[in-house]
Amino acid sequence: MSNKDVNRPVRKAVFPVAGLGTRFLPATKVMPKEMLPLVDRPLIQHAFEEAREAGIEEFIFVSGRHKEMLEEHFDYQPELMETLESRGKLDMVERVRDSEMPEGKLFLTRQARPLGLGHAIWCAHKLVGNEPFAVMLVDDVVLADTPCLKQMIDCYADVGGNMAAVMDVPRADTAKYGVLDVESENGQVVGIKGLVEKPKPEDAPSTLSIIGRYILQPEIFEYLGQFNKGAGNEIQLTDAIAHQIGKQPVNGYRFDGTRYDCGSRLGFIQANIAFGMRDPEIGTSVCDFVKKQAGTL
Res. 100 pLDDT band, cuts 50 70 90: confident
37-38 and 41-42 strand pairing: antiparallel
Q: What would the pLDDT profile of 69-81 be if each residue is shown by its tens digit?
A: 888 888 887 787 7
Q: Which pLDDT tens digit goes with each residue over 38-95?
A: 999 999 999 999 999 999 999 999 998 878 888 888 888 778 777 888 888 878 788 8
CA distances to 121, 127, 156, 166 from 195, in Å: 18, 27, 20, 12
Quick check: 282 pLDDT over 60?
yes
- Whether residue 205 contacts residue 269, with contact meaning beta carbons closer than 8 Å, is answered with no
Q: Is the pLDDT of residue 1 over 60?
A: no
CA separation for the pair 242, 238 (Å, rounded): 6
pLDDT of residue 267: 96
Q: What pTM, to 2 d.p., does this model score? A: 0.91
Q: Measuring CA to CA, which residue among 4, 116, 5, 99 is closest to residue 62?
A: 116
Q: Is the pLDDT of residue 4 over 60?
A: no
Write down all domains in the chain, each with its CATH number in brackets: 8-262 (3.90.550.10), 264-297 (no CATH)
Q: What is the pLDDT of residue 161?
A: 94
Cα three-residue angle 171-177-181, rounded to 5 degrees: 70
Q: What is the pLDDT of residues 118-166, one digit of tens each?
A: 999 999 999 999 999 999 999 999 999 999 999 999 999 999 999 999 9
Q: What is the mean pLDDT of residues 163-192?
A: 94
Q: Residue 251 and residue 185: Cα distance in Å, rounded?
A: 9
Percent of all residues in the chain with a pLDDT value above 70, rounded to a whole number: 98
Going by pLDDT thresholds of 50, 70 and 90, the confidence category of residue 5 is low
Residue 6: what pLDDT? 65
pLDDT at residue 3 greater than cutoff 50: no
Position 2 scores a pLDDT of 45
Rounded Cα gap, residues 214 and 235, in angstroms: 17
What's residue 19's pLDDT?
Answer: 83
